[in-house]
A and B are shown apart, each in its own frame.
Chain A
Amino acid sequence: MLNNNSILKVNKITTRFLTQDGLVHAVNGVSFNLKKGELLGVVGESGSGKSVTVLSLLKLLPMPPAEIVSGQAEFEEQDLIQLDVNQLRKIRGGKIGFIFQDPMTSLNPVLTIGYQIAEPMRQHMGLSYNQAHKRSKELLELVGIPNARNCLSSYPHQFSGGMRQRVMIAIALACNPKVLIADEPTTALDVTIQAQLLDIIKRLRKELGMAIIWITHDLAVVAGMADRVAVMYGGFIVEEAPVEELFSNPKHPYTLGLLKTIPNLEGKRAEKLESIPGQPPNLLVKPLSCPFGPRCNYSFERCNRENPTLIDRGKNHKVACWLNADSGERL
């Protein structure tokens, strides 16, 4: 099934949470294809299902309440969804690295930085303590931490947020992953620190050549980093396109609205910000119609009746909308 240049193929992942209030439809049949060495940006607001999608791939969700109802994720001729926990442990932190949003809570406060970086290498690559220690130092230098030798024996609380996130990157890269999943890695950081980290990731990507899935709510971050962007809303991918195509020619009303709501840093200052009316969708309701329909300026009768599927409209630009944005034709 996998063609040569694709490294991870996700097919119709559906994840639900069983809560006291009912079934939360977090991810509803999301499919995407990650190519070798590519950076795929996944953009969406809170509750759009962007994190749950990637967490489902490695079953990093508490189950129950979470339940992966269906779907496949093909990685190195295996279906990740079918693997049991022991098999997944060999992949997590090894061939697929993870960087989480909050560097404050994702490092263990009672273990030294050195131990935490060495741990995956000893587990996955079978390195001895000394070998792992030596490589840990190299990794810290790679992510731009000065005085790496002393840092190995320090604890996370001695580091600032930006430094901790660098340590997280070093851990994720420790076993030369084929795929790196970065879940809002710069959201908790200040802009100047964010700029430092984006710079590091750009450089490492060139040096190490891994594929990256970059999850964020910030379209501007994706604009400078990604090769391809998928926009998520209400548990669906609503639009997917190469980065320049998406920003210059957005076709889904949600993407269009989102781009208009962000104020400019340069150029003319808008009198009034455009806004998307209404509230994000209630995920307790089974999505049988277009999730964006109630907030959409262009919605018509079919939008409330049927959920559009992701269709390729040329130039690798896929959109899930009953309206053809180019011709204005209602499908």
Chain B
Amino acid sequence: MKSKEGEILLKVENLSKHFPITKGLLRRKIGAIKAVDGISFEILKGETLGLVGESGCGKSTAARVILQLSYATEGNVFFKGQDLNSLSKEELRKLRQQMQMIFQDPQESLNPRMTVGSIISEPLIEHGTFRGKVLQDRVEQLLESVGMNREFANRYPHEFSGGQRQRIGIARALALSPDFIICDEPIAALDVSIQAQVVNLLEDLQEKFGLTYLFISHDLSMIRHIADRVAVMYLGRIVELASSKSLYSRPSHPYTQALLSAVPIHDPKREKKRERIILTGDVPSPADPPTGCHFSTRCSMAKEICFKESPNFRKASRGHHVACHLI
């Protein structure tokens, strides 16, 4: 593990985000979509925590709530020991410099009417004292650190390919020298041969600037490569959290096991012999999650208790946490 003496950078406590479902003229609340339903974890300084799950499991919502881009229904987020809920708007704005985000779709997260230079310099002008030549130098330096030519500052996003645009997004996130970056599916929209380039860049930058990542992805093999620890989400809850090594060699939760067995591997000989756990049915709606364990409706091992009580998130072995009645 890359962390230094296990210093906690970010702590999430029982975080929930429910979106109300309303009906009628008076917008009466008739229910809630429980996008994130009580998740807790810690991220240590300098490490990469991977967050995996299928679409709709709440991983992106969790990221947005952590950065206070949308408000939590319940629970707290502590960054460097400070409770983000207790901060005033101005204090939060200042703290935002240290927490940045890289978005999934580089096509949509860059303003097409701004030059690359102005996209990258915007946070510097907003938060910093950079002006004139110093600002220009900083932009060029950032472009170079993400492996792009300094002359590109005067061009527009549409002139670049997907991989290059994602590099611009990374340069923007790096502009204010943050400590913590949330990477929300940064490679999902990229081609395979470009994915490795971007992941290698993110790893180099982490080493160079001592960054801490929350890396969100649905690509289990890429998470295995980049993350020190991995959290698996299902229907708004974390079902398993462990070191990358332990999670991939000894997955404990039935969902993690099914998820790992569903990923095809690029070796025809092994692929033919592999036993697959095929889950039946679809993910239930977060507006009406099953009572008890959220996974109970698709779990082949479910017992009576699984349908009644929701399992606690507890320690199975050192550093390996699971939410399952059967373990």
Contacts and interface: CB of A to CB of B under 8 A. Distances in A.
Interface in B43-98: 54-55
Contact of A279 (B161, B245, B270, B274): B161
B116 to A, nearest CB: 16
A198 B263 CA distance: 11
Interface size class of B (residues with CB under 8 A): 35 or more
Interface stretch (B25-33, B136-144, B194-202, B316-324): B194-202
B24 interface: no
Interface string B274-285: 101011101100
A193 B55 CA distance: 11
Interface stretch (B6-14, B176-184, B219-227, B305-313): B219-227
A182 to B, nearest CB: 15
B203 interface: yes
Interface stretch (A22-30, A149-157, A173-181, A267-275): A267-275
Interface in B185-207: 191-197, 199-200, 203
Interface string A236-247: 000000011001
B63 to A, nearest CB: 18
A254 to B, nearest CB: 8
Ranked 6 nearest A-B pairs via Cβ: A195-B262, A275-B196, A263-B225, A224-B271, A220-B264, A190-B54
27 contacts: A45-B191, A191-B54, A191-B220, A195-B262, A196-B278, A218-B192, A220-B263, A220-B264, A220-B265, A223-B265, A223-B266, A223-B271, A224-B271, A247-B268, A248-B269, A262-B192, A262-B266, A264-B221, A264-B224, A265-B220, A265-B224, A265-B265, A269-B225, A275-B197, A276-B193, A279-B161, A279-B194
Contacts of A262: 192, 221, 266
A82 interface: no
B260 to A, nearest CB: 7
Contacts of A193: 54, 282
B163 interface: yes
A217 interface: yes
B154 to A, nearest CB: 19
Nearest to B57: A190
Nearest to B223: A263
Contacts of B260: 265
Interface string A184-220: 0000001111111011000000000000000001111
Given A162-B282, A224-B268, A263 B276 contact: no
A46 interface: yes
A128 interface: no
A127 interface: no
Interface in B161-178: 161, 163-164
A259 B218 contact: no
B272 interface: yes
Interface in A62-107: none
A306 to B, nearest CB: 24
A221 B268 CA distance: 9
